[in-house]
């Protein structure tokens, strides 16, 4: 089995839910989000990952973006969860918990 | 990747080009936004490199930490047509709801909106009181960027790269030429604020203006600081430097020219003098004078600069740029003499000697 390939696919699949969960705690600009997400062990985020996903989430109406001036350089784009995004996140988290519980159940079963 | 072009700009442009090509395959309407975001991200990564970290290896490391260009297309997805249809449908429904909402708002709600709430918002903003700082007001020009105030030295630039912030004007009442505001000791931008510092160093006033990044506002790290000086002060410093450069250049010209006299090459010294000098004194007379006055002094034992002064006018000479300098010179047959040499900058920009006296 190609473990790296599996990790890559897992990361790509998880990024939507991870980004939405982060935005649940407030608005962030892309660079901050990358820094936060890099702290998640095992996710192994690549720094460019989030930008196409944020663009897609915007298109889907799950996040909105506002541009504001900053003291440290060019204007920054701040991303924020929409009500629709909040609802979608809630469903995604429920689903994720089901999957995790299911996997844990199988793991425990296999151990016994 | 063109490995010959080992600059940050080169590697960044090359990477962005690859991303652009990859995104063209999905034709997503937000492709350009993604490229702009990635570009900003890369700029931010570069800006965080210390001058000594600005190496090709670190540039490559930054690019390696980004996605392979092909992944962008996959992550952005190609099902935007379906999404757009959904959005369009949702948009129409939302539009209907919003229109109804607006209508209701216009007719009914004004009667019930508590005016107090609106006032509170204004009041909150007013609570950010303004304290004046007359020293801050004016046009400032950035001269350096440092990671702490302590490392700044007026004589040695810390930041090797280009400075993002070039100029800023602090206006009375808390406004600036940029989008943020100020009150004594603090700069405010959106929901962030940061302390600035005014310090007098070696007789000049410097403004240390914090650069707020996510590392500062989110992670509580210490900020880096732009170092700025008032524009008039910067102009004065530039003028001082120009004067100093002129004096240095003029001294070298004078010493080279004096060597000709030391070697008794009087004709050549006349040839290489300023036109003002040559017009005032015929070549033969100059040679005769030097043969009679300077040659008997013998060889030069030592020659030291006693003084030099940059002037723009001299009695009996046209206005221009002059450096009047005096040398304390010891000859074989005259232990102590004072040579006065006056180089001038001619119309072609070259410094040439326009006067020589020995006492």
Looking up residue B271, the CATH number of its domain turns out to be 3.10.450.100
Cα separation, B42 vs B66, whole angstroms: 9
Q: Which domains does chain A have, with CATH numbers?
A: 3-111 (1.10.10.10)
Look at residue A62 in the predicted model and tell me its pLDDT.
Answer: 95
Q: Which of B78, B99, B117 is the last residue of a domain?
A: B78
The answer to whether the CB of B46 falls within 8 A of the CB of B95 is no
Residue A91's pLDDT band, with cuts at 50, 70 and 90, is: very high
Contact A73 B179 (CB under 8 A): no
Distance CA A32, CA A39 (A): 11
Residues B166 and B265 in one domain: no
B228 occurs within a structural domain = no
* Judgement on whether residues B327 and B265 belong to the same structural domain of the protein: yes
Residue B269's contacts (CB-CB under 8 Å, 6 or more residues apart) are B257, B260, B261, B286, B290, B353
Q: Cα–Cα distances in Å, from B16 out to B35, B45, B72, B79, B320?
A: 7, 14, 11, 23, 53
CA distances from B173 to A71, B141, B183, B264 (A): 19, 20, 8, 69
Q: What is the predicted pLDDT for the residue at B2? A: 44
Q: Are residues B206 and B250 in the same domain?
A: no
The pairing of strands B138-146 and A73-81 is unpaired
Domain with B334 in it: 237-358
Residue B162 is predicted with a pLDDT of: 78
pLDDT score, position B130: 83
Asked, for residue B85, whether it belongs to a domain, the answer is: no
Residue B317's pLDDT is what?
A: 81
Distance from CA of B341 to the nearest CA of A (A): 51
Interface touch B43/A29, C-beta < 8 Å: no
Span A43-76, pLDDT tens digits: 888 889 899 999 999 999 999 998 877 666 667 8
- Structurally, how many domains does chain B consist of? 3
Q: Is residue B114 part of a domain?
A: no
Question: Pick from B222, B247, B266: which residue ends a domain?
Answer: B222
CA distance B168 to B228: 9
pLDDT tens-digit readout, A18-52: 999 999 999 999 988 998 998 888 888 888 989 99
B positions 145-164 inside 8 Å of A (CB): 164
Interface-testing mutation among B16, B22, B44, with chain A (most A C-beta atoms within 10 A): B44
CA B228 to chain centroid, in Å, comes to: 9
Sheet holding B181-183, edge to edge: B181-183, B186-189, B192-195
| Chain CA centroid to CA B318, Å | 36
Q: Work out the widest C-alpha separation in chain A, in whole angstroms.
A: 58
Name which of A72, A73, A75, A79 to mutate to probe chain B: the one with the most chain B Cβ atoms within 10 A of its Cβ. Answer: A72
Q: pLDDT value at position A92?
A: 95
Indicate if B263 and B322 belong to the same structural domain: yes
Residues B185 and B242 in one domain: no
**Helix and strand counts by DSSP (H, E) for chain A:** 4, 3
For an interface test with B, give the residue of A55, A57, A60, A83 to mutate (most B CBs within 10 A).
A55
* B215 near A CB under 8 A: yes
How far from chain centre, in Å, is Cα A65? Answer: 16
Of A30, A47, A54, the CB nearest to B65: A47
Q: What is the DSSP letter of B176?
A: B
A-to-B residue pairs, Cβ atoms closer than 8 angstroms:
115
- Residue in A38, A30, A35 with CA at minimum distance from that of residue A68: A30
Instruction: Judge: A48–B66 Cβ closer than 8 Å, yes or no.
Output: yes
Q: Are residues B214 and B241 in the same domain?
A: no
pLDDT of residue B213: 67
Cα separation, B212 vs B220, whole angstroms: 10
Res A71: pLDDT: 62
- How far apart (Å, rounded) are the C-alpha atoms in residues B288 and B267? 10
Kindly give the confidence (pLDDT) of every residue in chain B, 359 residues in length, as a single tens digit, with 9 standing for 90 and above. Answer: 444 457 888 888 888 988 888 888 777 888 888 988 898 888 888 888 888 888 888 888 898 888 788 788 888 874 444 444 444 444 444 444 444 444 444 444 334 333 333 333 223 333 457 888 999 999 999 999 988 888 888 888 888 777 888 889 999 989 998 878 899 888 887 667 788 999 888 778 899 998 866 666 666 677 888 999 988 877 777 777 788 888 888 999 999 999 999 999 999 999 999 998 898 889 999 999 899 888 899 999 999 988 988 888 887 788 888 999 999 999 999 999 999 999 999 988 899 999 998 88
Q: Judge: B38–A29 Cβ closer than 8 Å, yes or no.
A: no
Contact B37 A51 (CB under 8 A): yes
């Amino acid at each position: 089995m190609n473990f790296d390939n599996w990790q890559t696919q897992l990361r790509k699949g998880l990024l939507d839910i991870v980004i939405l969960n982060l935005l649940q705690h407030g608005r962030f600009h892309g660079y901050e989000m990358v820094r936060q997400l890099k702290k998640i062990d095992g996710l192994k985020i690549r720094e460019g990952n989030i930008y196409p996903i944020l663009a897609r989430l915007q298109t889907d109406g799950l996040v909105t973006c506002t541009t504001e001036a900053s003291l440290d350089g060019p204007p920054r784009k701040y991303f924020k969860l929409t009500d629709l995004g909040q609802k979608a996140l809630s469903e995604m988290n429920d689903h994720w918990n089901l999957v995790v519980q299911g996997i844990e159940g199988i793991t425990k079963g296999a151990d016994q | 990747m063109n490995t010959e072009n080992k600059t940050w700009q080169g590697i960044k442009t090359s990477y962005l080009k690859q991303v652009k090509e990859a995104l063209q395959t999905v034709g997503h309407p937000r492709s350009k936004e993604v490229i702009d975001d990635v570009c900003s991200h890369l700029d931010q990564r570069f800006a965080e490199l210390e001058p000594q970290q600005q190496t090709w290896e670190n540039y490559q490391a930054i690019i390696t930490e980004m996605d392979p260009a092909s992944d962008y297309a996959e992550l952005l997805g190609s099902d935007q047509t379906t999404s757009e249809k959904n959005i369009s449908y949702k948009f129409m429904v939302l539009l209907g709801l919003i229109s109804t909402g607006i209508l209701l708002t216009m007719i009914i709600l004004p009667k019930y909106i508590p005016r107090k709430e609106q006032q509170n918002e204004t009041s909150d903003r007013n609570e950010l009181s303004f304290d004046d700082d007359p020293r801050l007001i004016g046009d400032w020009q950035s001269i350096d960027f440092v990671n702490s105030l302590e490392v700044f030295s007026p004589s040695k630039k810390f930041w090797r790269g280009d400075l993002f912030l070039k100029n800023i004007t602090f206006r009375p009442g808390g406004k600036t030429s940029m989008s943020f505001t100020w009150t004594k000791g603090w700069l405010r931008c959106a929901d962030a604020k940061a302390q600035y510092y005014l310090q007098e160093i070696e007789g000049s006033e410097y403004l240390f203006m914090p650069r707020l990044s996510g590392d500062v506002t989110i992670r509580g790290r210490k900020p880096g600081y732009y170092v700025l000086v008032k524009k008039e002060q910067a102009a004065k410093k530039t003028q001082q430097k120009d004067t100093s450069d002129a004096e240095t250049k003029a001294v070298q010209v004078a010493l080279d020219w004096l060597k000709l006299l030391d070697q008794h090459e009087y004709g050549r010294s006349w040839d290489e003098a300023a036109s003002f000098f040559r017009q005032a004194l015929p070549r033969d007379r100059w040679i005769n004078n030097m043969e009679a006055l300077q040659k008997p002094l013998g060889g030069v034992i030592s020659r030291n600069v006693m003084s030099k002064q940059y002037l723009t006018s001299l009695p009996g000479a046209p206005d221009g740029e002059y450096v009047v300098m005096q040398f304390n010179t010891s000859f074989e047959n005259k232990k102590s003499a004072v040579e006065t040499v006056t180089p001038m900058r001619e119309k072609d920009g070259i410094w040439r000697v326009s006067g020589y006296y020995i006492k």
